Each structure stands twice: as C-alpha cells, then as structure tokens.
Chains A and B, each alone.
Chain A
Amino acid sequence: MSLRVSLFITCIVDQLFPRVGLAMVEVLERLGCRVEFPEAQTCCGQPAFNSGYRKEARAVAEHFLEVFRGAEYIVCPSGSCTSMVKNHFKDLFADDPQRLELAQQVAGRTWEFSQFLLEVLKVEDVGARLPKVATYHDGCHALRELKIKDGPRRLLAHVRGLVLREMDAAEECCGFGGTFSVKFPGISAGMGRTKLESILRTGAEVVVSTDCSCLMQIQGLISRAGLPIGTMHLAEVLASR
C-alpha cells in the first residue's frame, strides 16, 4: 500500500518540536507511505479562534484550505489542530457555502496521526522498541473532540520493552488550553502541577501524549521542578527502535 500522505505538521512542531515531525515521517515511511510536505502550510488558525478572533482565524484557515485542497490524506501530529480542522472550521465558514463545502471535504480527509495508523493503515504494531516505564496523558481535544482513547494505548501496547502505567487522572486537563496558559498562568500551572502529582504516582520515566502543546506544559513544569522525567510524543515512541 503506498498512500500519498500530506503532512500537516502544525506550527508548534515546525518551530519548537521538529523531532516529532521527523519521527512521524519515519513511522509513516516505514509503513510504506509516500510522504509529502506542502511547504506553503503555516497554521490551522486555532490560537486566534480560541481567543475569539474569528476574522483572523478565518483568514488563516482559508490559506490552510488552499494549501491542502488537493491532498488525499492529511496527517497531523496533534489532536487539537486536527480537531480545529475537523470540528471548528465550520464555525468560520458558516456564511460562505463554497468554502464551507471545501472545509467539509478537507476535514473528511484530515487525520490525527494515531487514528491514521489504526483506521486507515490498519496497523497496530509498527515495529517499535523502547524499554522504558511510561504513562499516557489523554489530551483533551484528542479525547473529547476526536474520541481518541484506546487507540494510542493499543499502539503503545505493541512497543517492545515498554511498560505502560495508567495514571489516576489520565483524562484530567494538563492546564495548557492555548492562550489560557498565559492569560491565567497561576491556574494553568496549578492544574499542571496536579497532573504532575498524578504522573509521579505512577513512577513513570516518560510521559507520552498525542499533543505537543500538552507535553510542552508538562515538560515545562517537570523541568522547573528539576524532576528526572521526560516527555515524548507518541510518534517519537513509535519511531524508536
């Protein structure tokens, strides 16, 4: 099977966590996909949309639709960005039937990375190996807007040597929430610390998630606290050999 996959890399991965992007490419290619990167891509518009700036979000979303209009499979290493495209573009184009139509088509071809592996490539074992004790954090958009819960856990179950320990508050928000993290930093950090306490109770060495935004929040707190715990994106775990 040689599917043509268009990478929707997300601005946060592009700028801050490029390794995650490379890991995702590696896994996709390992599974036989032809991966392309539409270079004109920038962002899905979520930061502006969540902040109430719909006009600005829409301008960026329009650009997104143009970039990806010809793509067959748009694969993205972020639950929240994928959800923006799949669930919230319709809010931006409600009064523009043509663009709304295009948005719906593009949304239908957009996949979060783990969902793409499981539902399109129909693969659970990607041949990964990572002998570590890990715990998994359910990013809120992935969990509640895309219904991603078991998928990543099934993929992780096949990673050789990986011991997965569930934390007691896996589904609780890490506190990132986009601009919330800097508009209400005290509350955001407080929520993050509660998450951290839950992580510590598992004794895990590494925290895994589908969203770099969550991992940035969690690692930021871990680093500030000087704790010997790492964070890895699901793609990085699956790329490990």
Chain B
Amino acid sequence: METSVLVQIQRVLENPKLQDAIYSSTARLMEKRRAAIPPELEQEFQRWREQAHQIKKHTLENLDHYLELLEKRVTERGGHVIFARDGGQVADFILELAKRHGAHLVVKSKSMTTEEIHLTKRLEQAGFESVETDLGEYIVQLANERPSHIVAPALHKTRYDIAELFHQRLGVEPDPEPEHQTQIARRTLREKFLQADIGITGANFVIAETGSIVIVENEGNARLSTTLPPIHVAIAGIEKVIPRLADLAVFLKLLGRSATGQPLTVYTSILTGPRRNNELDGPRQFYLILLDNGRTRVLADRTRRQSLYCIRCGACLNHCPVYRKIGGHSYPWVYSGPIGAVITPQFQGLDEAGWLPFASSLCGACGEVCPVKIDLPQLLLDLRYDAVKAKIRENKNRWERLSFRLWAAVMKRPKLYELVSTALGLIDTEETNGWLRRVPGIFALGPLKAWLQYRDFPPPPPQSFRQLWRLRPPAREALD
C-alpha cells in the first residue's frame, strides 16, 4: 500500500471537521434511503433487487449480442457508436471530433466513467476548455480535487470551504449561503451551456433494443448538455447495457431510492439518437462511445463478473463504516467504498491495489443494500484470497505466511495448542484487575503493538476455559 494512501487516511482520521462532514452526510443519505423503502414496500423492493440482478446477469452473459443490437439501433437512428479500448482512445476520438468541427468549449455532466479515464485533464491538456456542470463536480473542479463520493462529489466540503473557493476562483465576495452559492454557479455555468460546442455525458443505462441512453439527474445540467450544444457525446462502460425499455422500470425504481431516497430523480431523460426531422432543438450529431478499459477482463471471471452489475448508486458507500470514517479521497481510484474496494484490484491489478479488500471489517452492510445484489462481502473475501495467492507466487509475504502456517500447525494439534496456551499464560503481565495498557517489551510486536496503540488489551486469565472445565466437580459429569 502506498505511503501516500496511509498518510491520507491518517490526515482524515485526525480532522474532526472532515470526519463530521463525511459521517453526517452519509447518515442523511442512509436515512433518505430508509424513508424511501417503507415497511409496506420492503417485500416488493427485495423482488426488484432480485429481478435487477437476474437482468444484469443475463445481459452480461449475452453481452456481445446486446452490444451489436445496440449498435444497430443507434445507427438506424442516425447516431454513431464507437468502441474504445481505453481512455486514450476516447480522448483521441473526441479531440479529433472537436478539431473537425472547430470546437473549443465542452460542457460535461457528471460521469464516473469520464473520471475513470481522466477525460477532462486530457481535453484540457490538448487546449480545450472542459467545464464540469454538476454543482458538486464544478466545485471539485474549481478546487482542483477529485470527487469524494459517487453521488455527492463535494461531500467533504463545508459551505465555508465553498465560500472561500468561489471567492478565490470566481472573484465573488465570500458568501456561505448555499442558496446564493448555487445561484452563482447557475449563472456562471448557464453562459457555458449556451456557448458550448460539445456536450459530454455519461449514461446511467443504455437500452439495446431501442438504441437509447438514459440519464438520471436532479439539477438539469445533463439536459442542458444534451439540448444546447450541437454535438452530444455519451460515454458508457460496456456493462451499462440493459436489454429492453421495460427493464428500465425495474432499474429506475431501485436507483433513485438507493442513491438519494427518491422514487424518481428530478429528470429522467431517455435519449435516442440526434434530433429528428420533426424536432426543432436537440443535438444534430450523437455519438455513443462504449468503453472497455479492463471490463472484458473482469467479465471473463465467472464469480467476479457480478462486480460489473453496479449501477453506481453509492448506497454501499453510504452504509460502509470504513468509508464513513475515511471518506472517498482515501481510496486510490475514482471508485471508492466497497464497490471501489472490489473493482480497483481487478482493474488496476493486485500489485497496486491488492491491499484494498483488506481495509474492511467485513461487516456486510454493503451487500445488504446493493440494489443489484452484488455479493460484495463475498467478493472482498475472494479478492483477499487472490491477493494472498499472488503474494505467495511472488514470495512477498514470507513472515505473514509463516505465521499462519505455524498457527495452522498449532491449531491442528490440540496438545500443541494447549502447550502454547500454557506457555503464553506464563508471561508476566502487569498485575492489575483492569485491562492492559502495555505488555512486556518483546511481546509488544506487530499485531499486539498495533492493538495497544489505541486500545487496552484483556488481561490473560490465570486459567483457560478448558483448564477450568477439567476442574469441574466429578458429580456433574456423572449425569452423562
């Protein structure tokens, strides 16, 4: 694990204001979700989850068929489908498109997929202005930071942080009122929408049978990005495909409720190709870029494939006690929380991110709330196994491996176990009725030292249970 990540985690743990921001924001999101699934809806909600899981399973198991169908339909509607292996190809395509049309200004609506491939940076490096238009993303862009949560990108910022930020970057007087801050952003961004040459969005779902993309949002910036600029480019991972329009009924019911506790978000746009002859406004050109970027690798693993069912609702983040303590920036990649812990090692490799699945107490809250029933806790366990196997192959974890082998050797042999137990019992610890703050020098290594850094340790009892059991009066045993 990189030191920089450890440093970041430590920084967050020592920052009470940030701690509070993360904890209370996620608490509110959890509460909203709970309120959107009242007891009378619970059974049906569970049915939807199972349905969604099955639809995703089927789609991915027949993905080639659906991708080809999608391509056919989009093309019939006058749109274009581009398959891209990685972020570089996406950027190349867009830059070429922009050059061809003399485009300079791009407006972007929120898309984790574009974060994943650092699209904005690539466009900026090539001399284009690429403006994030989702309020949270806009704030984070101005601050030159990464978003810290899938659904609430600026969750880690207080209104005072934002007031200062707007003052610095937009030249306005510092004003901590969220209403005013929102109006400032609206004004500034409205200008951009009206001037933009290209609108870039993600897609929450891509419907194969109709060739449509579906974008859900609350602000209206995706609608503006797909209405005003003459060119619309949508970028979606290949796993975003669903077969039919009717499937949308299931997914929409799950997404809003799981993400923000809304039965439907404010805007649900079902967009099918560029504007038609009987329409006045809307983009003249529509491009759908389908991105691999490692997804086909995950797809190949039958048990890990379910990682791709994710509909990016953020529920697992909100319920994860680890996320709620360390926040999104402590994760090494753009996807944080339990889903991030599961896909990062698969996309970036175990060398880079094999440690991440271990940063979990395996509490299981994530699996309970995932709307598409990804078995996140099981995947975390499986990835830990993968990580250990990889380390063994590279001979990287000799001490840990030796420790567990010794441990297993002892645990298989009851007499040896008792011998070790008795030996440990002989260690002289501070005579105290209370719990231990310290243990004798040489035992304060590794795990015990890490424990004692923050907590006291239970004083080893004079006798183990089995020793006490053997001391029981014989009369009781005669009952057998």
Contacts and interface: CB of A to CB of B under 8 A. Distances in A.
Q: Do chains A and B touch in the complex (CB under 8 A)?
A: yes
Contacts of B441: none
B334 to A, nearest CB: 21
Interface in A163-196: 171-173, 175-192, 194
Interface residues of A, number: 71
Residue with the greatest number of chain A CB neighbours at <10 A, chosen from B321, B453, B460: B321
Contact of A220 (B447, B456, B469): B456
Interface stretch (B230-238, B260-268, B399-407): B399-407
B13 A190 contact: yes
A216 interface: yes
A172 B321 contact: yes
A54 B464 contact: no
A152 B121 CA distance: 54
Nearest to B424: A15
A219 interface: yes
Interface in A205-221: 216-217, 219-221
A179 B407 CA distance: 14
Nearest to A193: B454
A217 B480 contact: no
A42 B417 contact: yes
Contacts of A36: 480
A126 to B, nearest CB: 19
Contact of B454 (A17, A45, A88, A185): A185
A220 B386 CA distance: 32
B160 interface: no
Given A39-B466, A190-B13, A220 B361 contact: no
Given A182-B451, A220-B451, A223-B434, A177 B360 contact: yes
A54 B388 CA distance: 9
B321 A53 contact: no
Nearest to A87: B378
A190 B360 contact: no
B451 A185 contact: yes
Interface stretch (A96-104, A108-116, A140-148, A153-161): A140-148
Interface in B348-374: 358-365, 367-368
Contact of A182 (B447, B463, B465): B447
B280 interface: no
B27 to A, nearest CB: 9
A184 B13 CA distance: 12
Contact of B321 (A9, A45, A173, A185): A173
B381 A217 contact: no
B455 A187 contact: no
A175 B361 contact: yes
The DSSP consensus for interface residues of chain A is helix
A48 to B, nearest CB: 5
Given A39-B466, A52-B385, A56-B405, A216 B9 contact: no
A187 B411 contact: no
B194 interface: no
A41 interface: yes
Contact of A59 (B10, B358, B412): B412
A140 B322 CA distance: 14
Interface residues on B, range: 35 or more
Nearest to A57: B408
Interface in B423-468: 424, 434-435, 437, 446-448, 450-451, 453-458, 460-461, 463-468
A39 B460 CA distance: 20
Interface in B1-40: 9-10, 13, 19, 23
A175 B321 contact: yes
Residue with the greatest number of chain B CB neighbours at <10 A, chosen from A36, A60, A91: A60
Interface string A62-95: 1100000000000000000000000010010000
Given A189-B455, A191-B322, A194-B23, A50 B9 contact: no
A125 interface: no
Interface string B308-319: 000000000000
Residue with the greatest number of chain A CB neighbours at <10 A, chosen from B387, B437, B451: B451
A180 B388 contact: no
B295 interface: no
Contact of A221 (B407, B446, B448, B455): B455
A210 to B, nearest CB: 15
A74 to B, nearest CB: 16
B421 interface: yes
Contacts of A21: 465, 468-469
Interface in B223-251: none
B455 A223 contact: yes
A121 interface: no
Contacts of B123: none
Given A14-B466, A180-B362, A192 B460 contact: no
A1 interface: no
B388 A52 contact: yes
8 cross-chain pairs, A with B, having the tightest CB-CB distances, nearest first = A177-B361, A220-B455, A52-B388, A189-B454, A52-B384, A173-B363, A144-B364, A18-B465
Given A16-B460, A51-B388, 19 more contacts: A14-B465, A52-B388, A53-B408, A56-B405, A60-B411, A141-B364, A144-B364, A172-B321, A177-B360, A178-B362, A181-B361, A182-B446, A186-B9, A187-B322, A187-B325, A188-B454, A194-B325, A220-B435, A220-B454
Interface of B: 9-10, 13, 19, 23, 321-322, 325-326, 358-365, 367-368, 381, 384-389, 400-401, 404-405, 407-408, 410-412, 414, 417, 421, 424, 434-435, 437, 446-448, 450-451, 453-458, 460-461, 463-469, 476, 479-480
